[in-house]
Structures are given as C-alpha cells and as structure tokens.
A and B are shown apart, each in its own frame.
Chain A
Amino acid sequence: MDNLIITDLSKTYKNGVKALQNISLQIPKGMFGLLGPNGAGKSTLMRTIATLQEADQGEILLGGLNIQSQPNELRKVLGYLPQQFGVYPSLSVEMLLNHLAVLKGIINRKERNDIVHALLHKVNLFEVRKQKLGEFSGGMKQRFGIAQALLNNPKLLIVDEPTAGLDPVERNRFYNLLSEIGEQTIVILSTHIVDDVKELCTKMAIINKGNVVIQGNPLEIIESLNGRLYEKTIHKSDLEQYKKEYQVISDRLYLGKQLVHVVSDTHPGSDFKSIEANLEDVYMSQIFNG
C-alpha cells in the first residue's frame, strides 16, 4: 500500500487567513490522527486532500497519483466524511446510500445492495433504513455519514471530526470500525479530542495556525515530555503569577482546586510533583508554547 505524501502545502484565503503554511506530512497505512484547536487548518487540509479545494502551492501524492492533477482518480479510492454535512430530508437512508454508491461507480445492483446493507448493519441503521433522513437525530445522521464514506472500500479514508454528536456507545462502535478499516487503509482522522488519537492512532500530527508543530508516533511524542513535566495545586489568584514564572502548559480545575502543569528541564522547586506525560500535555505544550 502506498503512502500519502504531502509536500510543502500552503493555502491562504482571500481574507488573508493563512490556513496552511508549508505543510509536509507522510501518512502510511493505518490510523493517522490530526490534532489541533478550532481553526488550526485541519478541515482545510482535509478538504484539500479530498480534492474539494485547491492549494496555492505544494503537492499531494498518493503512491504514484498526483491528487491535484488527477483529482478524479483519487476520488475513486476516497472515502470522505466532512465535518458538517446535510442530507435530503425526504429520502430514506437506504436510498441515499444507494444513490451515492452509484456515484462511486458501484453499478452492479447486487454488489450495491450487499454493501449498502452491510454498512447499514455496521452503523446500526438497518432497522431504520426506510425512515426519512429528515427525521434522523444528529447521531443517526452522523452514522449515515460514516456509512457513506465506506461505500467504495476506500484506500484513503478521511474523517473530519467524526464522533461529534455520537453517544459513547456509538463512538466506541465507530472507533472499532475505523481501526478495523485502518488495517488495510490510510485513515486520516481529525479531532480535537486528544484521547481519541491516543486510543486509535499509530501516527499523528498536531497542527496549529496552519503549521505542523509536531508529528510522529503518539508514544514517542509523549516520550519527549517525559521527565520534564510537573504538576502543582495552587490558589486561583496565583495563576497569573505562575504563568509568568513557569512554562505553564495547562491550567484546569480539579475537584475545585486550580491545577497547573509545568514543563521544565530542571525540577521547578518545592511543591511541584513530577508526573507521567500524556498526550494532552503534549498537545497543550505544543499549542500554547510551541
């Protein structure tokens, strides 16, 4: 299986927002997590990979395939679940999946029926397959979105914030499905939920303000912080003071008390407790101090 290689991708919107700045990524088969805060450029990057938007410069290759010059070739092997999407309210989920299957070149009627039914089972919509999409709840709609992305056994699956609106049960179900698919497919998963990446992805990148701030194996990335991370419970009023004195990467409340995480090459002093790094800390350190 070929890797997806992104080289030097840049995109500046008309309003001057630099959505992507010289992004270079190598994405192999398996689950690839794309982390970043709101507005970091994740969706722009994913839309660009999904051929829905053109970059100002840079190149995206899937194996020998240049995505920009042969977008339709990519679309043949692409599954894409956008962050936001709608449906025809008057159609049933089965009809719409059928329609999209035709668009994806699944012309053989039996093949189409089989895959549509299998997917309906997978995303647990089989029972409601005749129901109008207009009557679907947000979660059900999201599950339809997942199903449609898998219609054509994609080689490249791009899912943008896929678990938004799913309850924990459905979320697990979906992640199981994804990791199953990730065994043979490149799966790019964007999210701002750090745990998702940790649980699922073999590789990841963090994007902020259009730049890749770090990429690699989640474990290795976490490793880079190990031994340098400290924690302390402080008074809320002292927070500003701490932020000045230390490299505070996160401040949050824990049982009503103010908790800060601090990165430091040396032990920052008394009352600080050395802790195991987790991915969230990495994320926070990259976003706020990177």
Chain B
Amino acid sequence: MLYEFFKFELKYRLKRPETYFFFLLLFLFSVVGVEFVFQGIDLGLVKKNSPLVIAKSMGAITGLSMIIASMIMGVPVLRDFQYDMVSLIYVNPISKRDYLAGRFLGSFVVLLFIFSGVLWGMMIGEFLPWNDPKEFLPFQFINYLQPFLWVVLPTVFFGSSVFFAAGALSKNLMVVYTQGVVIFVLFMITKGITNETFQALLDPFSLTTLTKATKEWTVADRNALLIPVSGIMLLNKLFWIVLGISVLAIGYTKFHLMVVNEKAFNRKQAQKVKTLTDTITKNLPSVTPVFHTKAQSAQLLFNTWFHSVSILKLKSFWAIILCCFIIILVNSVSLGTSYGVDSYPTTYLIIEELREMSIYFFMIILVFYSGEIMWKERDVKLDLIHDATPISSFVNVSSRFLALLLIYAIVMLSLIAAGVLFQTLNGYHHYELAVYFFGFFLELFPFLALYTFAAIFFQALTGNKFMGMLATIAFAIINVAIGVFGLEHALLNFGGHALATYSDMNGYGHFLTAYLWVKIYWVLFGVLLLISASILMVKGNETGLSKRWKSGLTQIGKPLAAFGIVCFMFFLSIGGYVFYNTNVLNEFWTKAEQTSYRAEYEKSLKQFEYFPQPKIIDVKLNIDLFPSQRAYEVAGYYVLTNTSQEPIREIHVQKLIESNVDLMDVTFDREAATNNTYSNFHYTIYELSQSLAPGDTLKMNFRQSLQPEGFEADNSGTDVVYNGTFFDNAELPGFGYQKKYELQDEDDRKDFELAPRLQKAKRNDVKELVNSRSGSDSDGTTLEVIISTEAPQTALTSGDLVATWNEDGRNYFHYKTNQRIIHFYPIVSAHYEVLRDSTNPSGNTADEFVDLEIYYQKGHEYNLTRMMESMKMSLGYYSRQFSPYQHKHLRVVEFPRYRAFAQSLPGIIPFSEAIGFIMDIDDEKDVDMAFYVTAHEVAHQWWGLQLEAANVQGQNMILETLAQYSAMMVHREKYGDEKVRQFLKLQLENYKEAKIKSSKEELPLALVENEEHIYYNKGALVMYELQTQIGEENVNKALQNFLNDWHSFDNPQKPSRYATTFELISCFREVAPESEQGTITDLLEKVKPIGEN
C-alpha cells in the first residue's frame, strides 16, 4: 500500500509541468548562483569553486527556494481536500502510515530531483565561457557533491518535514504559500541574534554556521578543505534534522484520516431557523442601478475598501506583518556605525532601518497579494457570478490596485508608529513626523505602487495566479539586471531611480525634482499597464490571451479609451520633458560611454603624465556661490613658477570634466596660442610665445562657472547643493595629465588593452618622489579667497578670516593665509550654527591662541563638546610632542551625508553629517569615536599638511598610520589605556575581515599602497605595539625628528623631494635600542601576524 501511494505521488508529480519548471528554475538560477550570491563581494584569493563558496551559494539558493519546497511538500495531503477527493480516499481501508509515508516519500523524491538542479546548475556554472580561469580551481566533483549532501540535503529535509506536516494538518493552501516565506523570515531573525554560536546553531540554511565554522581558515584552507562534518556545523545540522524528524512525528500523531476536522463540529449551527413567512407575496423593492462616472467612483471606493478589508482579514497577512515586526524588534536595536558606536535614533536613520528591513515584506505582500486579490473570486469559484456583474473592468482592476496601496499605507503607518515608539523607548524625543511621512510615502510608496502596477498587469496577462507571481518576480530581477548591464537611463529602467539620501542639512535637495518627474512618468506608464490589465483581465471562461485582448478591446468604452490616450500623451510628453532635461540640457553618459571615454583619455594623454608643468605658488580667487541655483562663478588667478630645469613652453590646462562647468578667459601675462587638439577631453595646450624659464613666474587668469540646467536623473551633483556645498580645489583648472580620470577597474582596462594600473609607484620612483600627490600641481602656495554666498549661509575655506560683510543679501568672507599651505583647500557653504572656543596649544608659544570653531547643523549638538575637547587636547599633545600648530584657527565644518568621511585641509576639517555628529556615545561601554575621529583629523594638520609624503608605496603609512597613532595617544591621555585597547580590538576585527577578502598578497606596512585595512586598522595595531616596545616618548621623539627633517615649508635642509617610510623607519631606528631593531623590522617591514595576544 505504501508503495502504491509512493508510486502515485511520483507519477502525479512527474506528469505535472511545474515539476520540470521548478527544476529548470533552480538549475538556471544555480548556473549563475555564485555570481548572484557573492554579488558585490570580493572573494579575494578564494576561488569561486572552492567548497566553501559552493556551500554558501548552495545554502543561500536553498534558502531562497524554500517556497518551492513548500509548494511541493505542502500539498500532497491538502490536494485530496482541495479536489474533494478525501471522502473517496479515506473511506478505503488504508493505513495512516502507508498514506502519509507514501505521500511524503513520493513528494520528497520529486523534491530531491528538483533540488538536484542546484547541483548540476552550479557545476555547469563553472564552465561558462566568460569565466576567468584564474578565479577557479580545477574542477572537482566532490567539491560540489559534498556541500550538496551536507548543506543542502538536511535543509531540504527539514523544510520538507515542516511543510508536509503543516500542509497536512492545516489543510490550508495559504499556509502552503506562506510557510516557505516564513522559514526565510526565521532565518532573518537568526541574523539578529548577537551570540555568534547561537546564531550559527540556529541558522536553518547554515550560512552563518559556515562562516563561523571556517572563521579561522586561511585562504589556502578555504580553497582546499571540504565543509567540516564536525563542531558547530555538525551541531547545526543535527539540530535541524532532529527538529525535522520531531515535526514529522508530531504531524503523524496529530493527523487523522478524517474528512471533517474537529473545528467544523464546533461551529454554531444557527441554521435551523426555517420559519416560512409570507414575505414571498411581497414584491421586491425596485432598484435603479446607475453607471455614470460618479457611480463608478463610488464603486471604486467601495471595492477598494472591500478588497483591503479582505486582505486585512487574512491570517497569512498578519503572519507576515508579525514576522516583519519581530525582525524589526530584533534588529533595530542596533543602530551601529562602522566605528562600533551606536547612533542616536534620528528619524532618518530609523526610517532607513525600517525601510531596509520591511522592503522584503512589502515585496512579499506585493507579489502574493497581487495574485490573491486578482483571483480571489476564481479561488472560491465566485468568478462566474462576479464576472456577470456590469462593473467596469477598469474600475474592478483599479480597485484591487488601490486596495493593495491602502494595505501598504496601513503597514507604513504602523511602521511609523513603531519607529516613534522605538525612539521614545530610547529616550529620543525629537520626532520628525514629516520626515517619517516622506521617508515612507515619498521614497518607498511610489516604488511599491509601480511594481504593483506591473504585478497586476502580469496577473492579467498570464491569467494565472502562480504564473503571474513568477512573472512579477522575474520582471523585478530582470529590471535590476538590465540596470546593471547598461540600461541605466531612468526613462528606460522601469520605475526610474531611487531618491537620493535624505540629509538633515539639505533635506532631499535638488534631487526631488528629477525624482518626482521620473516617478510621474512611470506612474502614467503604470496607469497604461492598469488599463491593459483591465482589457486583458479574464472574464468568465475565456482564457486565450489574444481572445481576451480582442474582446477586452471591444468592451473598453469611449471614456476609458480617451483616458488611456490622454495618459499616453502625458506619458510621452513627460518622458520628452525628462529626456530634454537629462539628455539635452545635460549630458547623459552610459557606463560604457564613460568607460571608453576614460580609456581614450588615457590613451591620448598619458604621454603628458610627466610633462614638466609649472607649479602653483599663489592663488587669488573671487568665488560667488549661488546655492539656491546650485551655481557658482569663480574669477581669479594662479601664480605659477617653473621648478624644473628646463624652460616650459606649453601650459597644459585640464578643465574639470563635467557638463555645465565652463572655464573661460584663460589668459597669461604673455602671449599664448591655443592648441585644441585634445579639446574633446577639455584639455587645452597653451603655447607660450615666450617660454617660462626655470625659476621664472607666470600669472594665469581664468574664470570658471557652474550653471546647472534642468535636472539629471542619476542623483549626481552632491558638491554644490542648496544647503551644504562642499568641494575642493580639484574643481578648478589643473595642469597636465590627470590620473584620476583613468579607468580603475582592471577588467575594463584589459578590455581596452590598457596596462594594469599601478596602485602606487615603488619607493624609489624618482618621478613620483617629487610628487606629494598624484599629478601634484604645487609644492605649496599662498591663498587669498573672497567667497560670497546667499545669506544666511556661511562660506568657509582655508586661511584666516580677514573680513566679512553683507551686501545685497549676500554674505561675503575674505580669507587669506598667513603662510604657505599645501595646494588643497575646500569651499564650504551652509546655514550653520557655530560653537566657538579658543586654546593655547601647550607646544606653541605662550601668547599664541588658536580660535576653535565647530560649524554644525542645528540639532546636531550631541557631541560638540567631545569634539571641541578633542581639538584642544589634540592641539596640545601634537604641538608638545611633534611641532607647534601652524594656524591661528582650527575649524570643523559639517557637510551633508552624501559622503561619509572627515578630511583635514589647512586649518579646516570638513566632517560628514553621517559620522560623529549623531553618535550616541555611552562612556561606559563605547569608545568615544567623535573624540577619536576629531583627534585623527587634527593629527593630519601635521601628517599631510606640515609634512607631506611622496606619492609612492608607504605614503599612506606616513599620512594615515601616523594620524592613527597620534589620535590613539591623545585618546589614551583622555580615556586611559583600557579604551584604546577596546578600540584596537575593533581594528583587529576589521583588519582580519578585510584581509580575507583582499585579493592581493599583503604588503608590509612600510610599503602599503591603498589598502585601508593595512594603513588604518593594522597600522593602529602596529603603532600601538611599537610604542609599547620602544616607549611613547621614543616614538614621539622619532616623529619629531622626522618632522624636523621633512617639514614641507620653511625647511631649508629638506631635500627637493618628499619623505618616504624609508626615512620614517630610520627615525624610529635611531631612537630605538639595539634590542628593538628586530621589532621594528617585524612590525613595519615584514608581514607578521599581529594582535593575536
């Protein structure tokens, strides 16, 4: 008997098309599985077909495909109920054991067949023609088989057990549909568990388990070892297998071969009333059905409400919402920053968290309930009655659309309530309801609405719930994919672009206009989809697509046709308007165009890379900022000098390559002919009538303006904004070849036959030893700037503020340096609050006071005193230990969170809104990162601004590692060694994590190139170790000597090149006892494990 059931199940499944469809789906998905799962993650030296990578990909695919398992395993018993077969089957003398076991095993075997698609697919994926053989190990079957058997199989078994039992016991189709999702949600919840071991144990797909089990593995291990069948991995698998068996056992005992379940008996039998009254004789009241537009609007409203309420009544819906809120409860507690410190639960952060966590649930609701809502009549067989009513098809379809929107709105409102509650519980009372509202209803809602248009269209097109859901999912994936593959224009990529980050300083800024236009364009398209859906929607028994379309068209009716045409016209005209803005008023570049332009730039101009150019020694500028128009006008001049040994005849001027930026009136204090050979690259060669002799100076006048026109739809242009303008002198004309325009991606470079790009020149590269930055156009300059901006904004740059005035509603600021600075200064303008103080750095002379200022956004007061104290203590420590501070002022200025960094320029530190300002620092448990980051940036006033390092290997050690060291010392002075060790612990974690991902053999610190994890994270560890070994005073003494030797300005004994780590290490060696020379070698010049103790 068991065998009969087994055979029946097998045969049934093998006849069903979806069996093969699922197999194919998994197969095709798995072919690109590794790419999909590890998208955007740099595997480093770990190969793409190493067992670990395969296992993780398989695990993730299995997790995502649990819904398939549910569709196969949930229905075997349910099916008998669904088709009213139970009475016929259960009445037979069958045993429960045979029935259940047969059904289970039969389905399970079919499911294994389907999931074997993962195994085959992934293997095929290894042989795709475009694979780079360097990223792969030689093919080994066992590398696929073992992870499949050990990672996928137990998961599938567990899933099958649960789904089978749940389907058999609940006998509810919706349970089958949702449980695959629920298990995924379960997985997400485990992600919120902070205890790593528990998280690894409880992960149903073993993803975190794999990470945990292989945490200590080296790259070689990762490429060679199979998945461990021991330790945490074994526990995890045993846990889920045992759980699966238990569920099966429970299901088995609870299940009865009964047609009617207990519940049905409990219902109130109130149907006995059968009083035959004489109402029959009464005539029915007459009714007057109406179908005019007003009536149709009423129908629309009634039906919208009816359909939303019917979703709100579904248990499955509440299950999804419950899961969503559980996840939020688990996760949103952590508002951690990259520095390991929590932020204040500001509204925009809460919204971002909530959006990020709820988006999956919104998508689930969208995909599932668009299917449910479209076919609800058919599902209960009310469709014939429904379709015979005279409701307009468009009203019908639209009301379902609106009902879904209403559902989203309700969920969003509850998310907002949850957010406010969370803020309240955390003692944060600055509620910004408008920000909440826009964060959801402006950013997320249109996205959902557009995909709902699409989902409803696909439901109507396919005429089948399941196919409609799949088509919707496929559409979403394809839409993302074509965006990646170059169809990136907002008018072509369905839905357009996302709205740029919200900033407290700049709100949504100028991004909103473009966003709204593009959204209106797509909403109109969506309405057209909705009209098409109403034409295509199945009425009665018609199923053929062309037939539905034809008969739908004849029924469309004049008003709707007119409405459709009007929408179409608006769609076209708004599309045209957007196109005019993005492509006519502005330039639109596809990624491919940008890539080839960059390649061409390099090919044409690389010849000029070391072509001698004069150096800037004085800059005078008049800058007029017009933040409300996002425009500026700059007029001024450079004084240039020839520092080379040869006369210079050609001045190569590179204008910023950006549309709407014009460089005008470039003139020299002598005749010059213009050579426009490279004007395509905005690269102009001025041939001087009279060469510039070595040591001679030349004045170059110029004007530059930025005048944005219309809008662009790619969220670009974060430099000059309504409130929070921040750019630096790289905006202004530069000299010679600009390496920054080169293609960075090595694959792209290969495509254009460009040589691999050196990250940094060797430490003995004579051409780069004289450069402190790549293509540097100055060895130090004086600066005088008059900036004007719109009141009430404050404009800032480097230099002392010598005057400020107001004229015609504009604020003017006159800045002038009192000494030479490196040619690197910012232009900043925003509406600021200011915190002022002053200090006399202990290493400066007694009467030298430094004005300290923090320019900040109102409301960001939380950490100002910490930052201010850090500025004071840092200036004190560094001036005492290294050299006096060079300016009479030090300013920290906040800028919008489009970019998240802080940067030190002469006397001024632009500091992103995203870091430091809104950290919620608990002195008990946190490291005061606001203090630390400030100290780090202040240290750059020495490392980088007093002493520049040559643009060669090790440059970043001098600039960044020394800043890390300096900041740690100040931090220790303030908070003690304990906190510094806590800080180092995080550095060690970051370093190890990045090391595994790095695709490059690690270089010693002294030769570091651009690896942040080495010069920041490892650097901090190394320097801490160094000062432990040779003493803080000795390190400081060495640094003082180093500064003395290599100070960039007023330093006659400095050679005519810049410092390298070679000289830095010599300074260390000088102060270190003989016994510690080996330590220096080990720490700085070798790659040795660090921080393990």
A residues lining the B interface (CB < 8 Å): 47, 50-54, 69-73, 75-76, 78, 80-82, 84-91, 99-100, 102-108, 111-112, 114-115, 118-119, 121-122, 124, 127-128, 131, 135-137, 140, 145, 148, 150-153, 169, 173, 176-177, 180
> In the complex, how many angstroms separate the beta carbon of A87 from the nearest chain B beta carbon?
6
Judged by DSSP, the binding face of B is loop
Interface pair A104/B389, CB less than 8 Å apart: yes
For residue A6, give the distance in angstroms from its CB to the closest CB of chain B. 17
Closest chain B residue, CB of each to CB of A71: B555
Residues of chain A contacted by B539 (CB below 8 angstroms): 51-52, 71
A103 contacts B386, CB within 8 Å? yes
Chain B residues with CB below 8 A from A106, complex form: 287-289
Q: Smallest distance from the beta carbon of B218 to chain A beta carbons, Å?
A: 59
Which B residues lie within 8 Å of A81 (CB)?
385
Give CA–CA (A103, B539) in the complex, Å. 14
Q: A90-B313, A124-B276 are in contact. Are A52 and B287 (CB under 8 A)?
A: no
B390 touches A87 (CB 8 A): no
Q: A80-B388, A105-B391, A115-B285 are in contact. List 5 more A-B contacts (CB 8 A).
A: A52-B541, A102-B298, A102-B302, A124-B274, A180-B283
Size of interface on B: residues with Cβ below 8 Å to A:
51
How far, in angstroms, from A151 to B295 measured CA to CA in the complex? 17
* A contact residues around B295 at 8 Å (CB): 105, 107
* Cβ-neighbour of B289 out of A53, A89, A104, A177 (below 8 A): A104
Contact between chains at A135 and B384 (CB < 8 Å) = no
Given the complex of chains A and B, what is the CA–CA distance between A54 and B541 in angstroms?
9
**A118 and B285 alpha carbons, distance in the complex (Å):** 7
Q: CB-CB < 8 A to A151: which residues of B?
A: 287
Asked whether B1028 is an interface residue with its Cβ less than 8 Å from the other chain, the reply is no
- Whether the pair A85, B284 counts as a contact (CB closer than 8 A) is no
Task: Give chain B residues whose Cβ lies under 8 Å from the Cβ of A54.
Answer: 542, 547, 551
Q: Mark B470-496, 1 if CB is under 8 A from A, else 0.
A: 000000000000000000000000000
Residue of A nearest to B550 (CB): A54
- Is the CB–CB distance between A118 and B282 below 8 Å? yes
Residues of B within 8 A of A119 (CB): 284
**Contact indicator A153/B287 (Cβ below 8 Å):** yes
- Asked whether, in the complex, the Cβ of B298 is within 8 Å of the Cβ of A107, the reply is yes
Cβ–Cβ < 8 Å partners of B975 in chain A = none
Contacts of B803 in A (CB 8 A): none
Question: With A72-B390, A131-B271, A150-B284 known to touch, is A169 a contact of B276 (CB < 8 Å)?
Answer: yes
Between A47, A91, A105, A121, the greatest number of chain B beta carbons within 10 A of the residue's beta carbon is seen for A105
Q: Which of A105, A135, A153 contacts B291 (CB 8 A)?
A: A105
CB distance from A110 to the nearest CB of B (A): 10
Contact with A along B536-567 (1 / 0, CB 8 A): 00011110000100010011010000000000
The answer to whether B846 has its CB under 8 Å from any CB of chain A is no
Known contacts A99-B306, A135-B267: A52-B540 contact under CB 8 Å = yes
Given A47-B541, A140-B271, also A100-B385 (CB < 8 A):
yes
Within 8 A of A (CB), among B266-309: 267-268, 270-271, 273-277, 279-280, 282-291, 295, 298-299, 302-303, 306
Question: B620 interface residue, CB < 8 Å from A?
Answer: no
Does B719 touch A at the CB level, under 8 Å? no
| Cα–Cα, bound, A119→B286 (Å) | 11
User: Which residues of A lie under 8 Å from residue B283 when comparing CB positions?
Assistant: 180
A54 to B542, CA, bound (A): 7
- B376 lies within 8 A of chain A by Cβ: yes
Q: Is B421 an interface residue (CB 8 A)?
A: no
* Max chain A Cβ within 10 angstroms of own Cβ: one of B282, B285, B542: B285
User: B390 contacts which chain A residues (CB < 8 A)?
Assistant: 72-73, 75-76, 78, 103-105
A115–B388 touching, CB < 8 Å: no
Instruction: Enumerate chain B residues within 8 angstroms of A88, measured Cβ to Cβ.
Output: 310, 376, 380, 382
Chain B residues in 8 Å Cβ range of A180: 280, 283
Chain B residues within an 8 Å CB radius of A169: 274, 276
Assess the B287–A103 pair: CB atoms within 8 A: no
Contacts from B to A (Cβ < 8 Å): 267-268, 270-271, 273-277, 279-280, 282-291, 295, 298-299, 302-303, 306, 310, 313, 376, 380-382, 384-392, 539-542, 547, 551, 554-555, 557
Contact call B388/A105, Cβ cutoff below 8 A:
no
Which residues from A are CB-within-8-Å of B286? 153
Nearest A-chain residue to B278, judged by Cβ? A121
Complex CA distance for A71 and B387, rounded to whole angstroms:
11
- In whole Å, how far is A84's beta carbon from the nearest beta carbon of chain B? 6
Q: Which residues from A are CB-within-8-Å of B557? A: 72
CB pairs A–B below 8 angstroms (8 shown): A53-B540, A76-B390, A112-B287, A122-B280, A128-B271, A152-B289, A153-B286, A153-B287
The chain A residue with its CB closest to the CB of B396 is: A103
CA distance A131 to B269 in the complex (A): 10
Cβ B276 vs Cβ A173 within 8 A: yes
Tell me the smallest distance from the CB of A139 to a CB of chain B, in Å.
9
A18 to B754, CA, bound (A): 71
In the complex, residue of chain A having the shortest beta-carbon distance to the beta carbon of B313? A90
A114-B289 CB under 8 A given contacts A52-B541, A128-B270: no
Question: Which single residue of chain B is at the shortest CB-CB distance from A135?
Answer: B267
What CA separation (Å) do A78 and B384 show in the bound complex? 12
| A100 touching B551, Cβ below 8 Å | no
Residue numbers in A under 8 Å from B285 (CB-CB) = 111, 114-115, 118
A50 and B388 in contact (CB under 8 A), knowing A128-B273, A131-B270?
yes
Contact assessment for B284 and A148 in the assembled complex, using a CB-CB cutoff below 8 Å: no
**Which residues does chain B contribute within 8 Å of A121, judged by CB atoms?**
277, 279, 282
Contact residue among A47, A72, A76 (Cβ-Cβ distance under 8 Å from B384): A47
* B289 with A102: CB separation less than 8 A: no
Q: Which residue of A69, A105, A127 is within 8 Å of B299 (Cβ)?
A: A105
A181 to chain B: closest residue by CB:
B284
Contact of B384 with A75 in the complex, beta carbons under 8 Å: no
Q: Within the complex, what minimum Cβ distance (angstroms) separates A136 from chain B?
A: 7
CB-based contact B385/A176 at 8 Å = no
Distance in Å from the Cβ of B417 to the closest Cβ of chain A? 27
Q: What CA separation (Å) do A124 and B554 show in the bound complex?
A: 40
B299 pairs with A135, CB closer than 8 A: no
A72 in contact with B282 (CB, 8 Å): no
Minimum Cβ distance to chain B for residue A133 (Å): 9
Chain B minimum-CB-distance residue to A101: B287
- B284 partner residues in chain A, CB cutoff 8 A: 115, 118-119, 122, 150, 153
**Is the beta-carbon distance between B384 and A80 smaller than 8 angstroms?**
yes
Q: Min CB distance, B316 to chain A, in Å?
A: 12
In the complex, the 7 A-B pairs of residues with the closest C-beta atoms, listed nearest first: A52-B540, A105-B289, A86-B381, A75-B390, A103-B389, A80-B388, A86-B380
Residues of B within 8 Å of A136, CB to CB, are: 271
Find out whether the CB atom of B389 lies under 8 angstroms from the CB atom of A75. yes
The CA-CA distance from A108 to B292 in the complex, in Å, is 13
Closest CB of chain A to B1072's CB: distance in Å? 81
Q: Could you tell me the distance in whole angstroms from the C-beta of B307 to the nearest C-beta in chain A?
A: 10
Given contacts A53-B542, A85-B382, A124-B276, contact A111 B271 (CB under 8 A): no
Chain A nearest CB, measured from B33 CB (Å): 39
A127 to B396 Cα, complex, angstroms: 31
Check B276 against A127 for contact (C-beta < 8 Å): no
Contact of A47 among B270, B273, B313, B540 (CB under 8 A): B540
Closest-by-CB residue of A relative to B378 is A86
A122 to B276, CA, bound (A): 10
Contact A75 B290 (CB under 8 A): no
In the complex, how many angstroms separate the beta carbon of B107 from the nearest chain A beta carbon? 27
Closest chain B CB from A231 CB (angstroms): 38
- In angstroms, how far is the closest chain B Cβ from the Cβ of A156? 11
Which chain A residues lie closer than 8 Å to B388 at the CB level?
A: 50-52, 75, 78, 80
**B275 contacts across to A, CB distance below 8 A:** 124, 127
Q: Which residues of B contact A145 (CB under 8 A)?
A: 385
CA distance A111 to B298 in the complex (A): 15
Whether the Cβ atoms of B287 and A127 lie closer than 8 Å is no
Least CB distance, A179 to chain B, in whole angstroms: 11
Chain B residues with Cβ below 8 Å from A69 are 554
CB-based nearest A residue for B269:
A135
Candidate in B388, B390, B547 with the most chain A CB atoms within 10 angstroms: B388
- In the complex, chain A residues whose CB is within 8 Å of the CB of B287: 106, 111-112, 114-115, 151-153
